Structure 1
Amino acid sequence: MLDPYELTVHTLTLRQLGSAEQLAEINALPIGDVEDALEKAVADGAVMAARGNYMITPAGRAVLDGVYPRAFADLRSDPAITEAMDSFETGVNKQVLALTTDWQTVEVDGTRVSNDHADADYDNKIIAKLGRVHEKTQKVLRPLAHRDPLVDRFLDRIGAALIRAEGGESDYVSGVRVDSVHTVWFQMHEHILRLTGRERPE
């Protein structure tokens, strides 16, 4: 697995720009460890700092490209992980993408138009479906979660976003300014792709 330095740099591939606090929220490291790692990564040229936020550099990406095969060799050779990823990509991931489209748009006279969210029943059905997919995803990714606790953390964060969406905070379905279902799902997907050495499907 990744040491705190590597994990902090890795987290910047999941969130393109972020503060130490935002990175710690994703990777579950103590904030002091994240700050120390960022200070070293900036000195190494692996990360750039700008007004309290950080982003990975090409040099940082090159470092990770060398780290991943070593850190995740056993995980990548595990048939149970391969099976879990196949199920994820062909099943729940496609369902979440489709439901996100259904959330953002509605069909009117055979044409897709932006959803103005005036129909609460329609929106609530989408949120309920996302909840069922979330439950299914917990089972699908169980082999990965056994090997990497961050997978469970992502799933918990998606669950927290769903609770807020169910409570009427609609931004928590696909909003980009909050840790919405869609935002955290994207981060989780990128994380497990990097663990397993896969490319994001087109």
Structure 2
Amino acid sequence: MLDPYQLTVHSLTLRQLASAEQLAEVTGQPVAEIEAGLEKAAADGAVVAARGNYMISPAGRALLDEAYPAAFTDIRASQEIADAMEAFETGVNKQVLALTTDWQTKEVGGDRVPNDHGDADYDAAIIDKLARVHEKTGKVLRPLAAADPLVDRFLDRIGGALTRAEGGETDYVSGVRVDSVHTVWFQMHEHLLRLTGRERPE
């Protein structure tokens, strides 16, 4: 697995401009540990500091490209994990993408128009479907979660976003300024691709 320094740099591939506190939310590392890692990474040229936030540099990406094969050798060699990823890509990931589209738009008279969220029943049905896909995703990704505890952290964060959406905070479905279902799902997908060495599907 990645060491704490590598994990800090890696977290900036999942949340591309972030503070130490925001990265701690992603990885679960102590903020002080992340701050130390970011300070070292900035000195190494692996990250760029920007007004209290950080972003990864080309040197940081090169560092990770070298680290991943050794850190994730067993994961990448596992047929069970390869099968789980295939099930994820062809099943639950497509379902979440489709439901996100359904959340953002709706069909009216045969045309897709922006969803004004004036139909509470329509929105509630989508949130319910997302919750069922989230439950299924936990089962699909079980082999990956067993190999890397960060996978369960992503699933827990998605569950937290769903709870807030069910409680009426609908920005937590696909909002970009909060840790919404869509935002955290994107981060999780990127993490899974880096774990397994796969490319993001077109």
Per the shorter chain, which TM-score range? over 0.9
1:48 alignment partner, SS class:
strand
| 2:188 paired residue number | 188
**Structure 1 counterpart of 2:125, one-letter code:** K
| 1:3 paired residue number | 3
Deviation of 1:51 (Å): 0.7
Deviation of 1:80 (Å): 0.7
Q: Kindly report which structure 2 residues correspond to 1:54-73, keeping only aligned pairs within 5 A, or say none.
A: 54-73=54-73
1:70 alignment partner, SS class:
helix
Asked if 1:198 is matched to 2:198, the reply is yes
| 1:125 paired residue number | 125
**Structure 2 counterpart of 1:141, one-letter code:** L
Asked if 1:41 is matched to 2:41, the reply is yes
Asked if 1:135 is matched to 2:135, the reply is yes
Deviation of 1:132 (Å): 0.2
2:55 alignment partner, SS class:
strand
| 2:85 paired residue number | 85
Q: Measure, in 2, the Cα distance between the counterparts of 1:109 and 1:25.
A: 43
**Structure 1 counterpart of 2:180, one-letter code:** S
Deviation of 1:23 (Å): 0.3
| 2:25 paired residue number | 25
Deviation of 1:16 (Å): 0.6
Deviating beyond 6 angstroms after TM superposition, the runs of 4 or more aligned structure 1 residues are: none
| 1:155 paired residue number | 155
Deviation of 1:93 (Å): 0.1
TM-score by length of 2: 1.00
Deviations 1:108-161 (A, max 9, x none): 111100000000000000000000000000000000000100000000000000
Structure 1: state its 5+ residue gaps: none
Asked if 1:12 is matched to 2:24, the reply is no
1:49 alignment partner, SS class:
strand
Deviations 1:150-199 (A, max 9, x none): 00000000000000000000000000000000000000000010000000
| 1:108 paired residue number | 108
Deviations 1:39-66 (A, max 9, x none): 0000000000011000000010011000
Q: Measure, in 2, the Cα distance between the counterparts of 1:137 and 1:74.
A: 22
| 2:178 paired residue number | 178
Q: Measure, in 2, the Cα distance between the counterparts of 1:17 and 1:108.
A: 37
CA RMSD, Structure 1 to Structure 2 (Å): 0.4
Q: Measure, in 2, the Cα distance between the counterparts of 1:79 and 1:199.
A: 17
Q: Measure, in 2, the Cα distance between the counterparts of 1:21 and 1:157.
A: 15
Q: Measure, in 1, the Cα distance between the counterparts of 2:98 and 2:74.
A: 33
**Structure 2 counterpart of 1:58, one-letter code:** P
Q: Measure, in 2, the Cα distance between the counterparts of 1:30 and 1:172.
A: 25
